[in-house]
Amino acid sequence: MRAATTKSSAETIIAQLNGASRTDAFEAAKEVWNIDGNAVAKQLIETLKRGRRVFNRAAAAYAMQAVRDIRVTMALESTVQNKSEYPDVRGHAAEALAHCHRKSTHNLLLETLRDPSKDVRFWCAFALGQMRERRAVPILRQLMSDQRQVRGFHSVAKEAADAIGEIERRQPGRRCHWCIRDGGPG
């Protein structure tokens, strides 16, 4: 269970997330799981859109995994679509959408599986696997020949294969349990 958010803890997390250290920014992003993430949703969206450094925006996207809010989902979707944003930020946004999305997010991620960035393709494959989106399987099979490595992880091909494995393990009638509709649980 998340601890109650105090104004000072939320302010500290947001300040650290917007700081000059990549390590500190991502450590702050992890702390969002320990507070009421909805209390910092507005500040996370602001950082995602206007954060000074690429890693500040990426850390904000990463932190958004802990927040169930339609505004967050919409901001993450917009970031994934934004071809002028850095692939690291777009990839973290796609990863976060695995945990907080709506039905229409599936279509966005399906389209983005063909993105020029290996990082974006990798995280879209991951998210669609977590969503157990069967329509992704044909494109994921094509990605199984993409041997480009994502720093700190493995190849796009392996992630595509892992995603197919998740999708094929789907139990009949099982819904995507992270989907939200109009701001409420799906």
> What length is written for the chain?
186
Sorted by where each begins, the domain ranges of the chain are 1-101, 105-173
- How much is the pLDDT for 185? 35
Contact 72/38 with Cβ under 8 angstroms? no
- How much is the pLDDT for 180? 60
Contact 135/123 with Cβ under 8 angstroms? no
Q: What is residue 128's DSSP assignment?
A: H
Instruction: For residue 183, give every residue at least 6 positions away whose Cβ sits within 8 Å of its Cβ, in sequence order, or none.
Output: 69, 70, 71
Which segments within 1-153 are labelled E, that is strand?
Answer: none
Distance CA 47, CA 11 (A): 13
pLDDT tens string, the chain, 186 residues long: the values are: 455 556 778 999 999 999 999 999 999 999 999 998 888 999 999 999 999 999 999 999 999 999 999 999 999 999 999 999 999 999 999 999 999 999 999 999 999 999 999 999 999 999 999 999 999 999 999 999 999 999 999 999 999 999 999 999 865 555 555 566 544 333
Same fold? 1-101, 105-173: yes
Please choose, from the candidates 48, 96, 57, the residue with its C-alpha nearest in 3D space to the C-alpha of residue 75.
Answer: 48
Fold of 1-101: Leucine-rich Repeat Variant (1.25.10)
- How much is the pLDDT for 8? 76
Please choose, from the candidates 29, 110, 54, the residue with its C-alpha nearest in 3D space to the C-alpha of residue 77.
Answer: 110
- How much is the pLDDT for 37? 84
Homologous superfamily assigned to 105-173: Leucine-rich Repeat Variant (1.25.10.10)
Distance CA 112, CA 163 (A): 15
- How much is the pLDDT for 55? 98
Element of type H or E holding 140: helix 137-143
Degrees (nearest 5) of the Cα angle 77, 40, 99? Answer: 40
Distance CA 81, CA 180 (A): 19
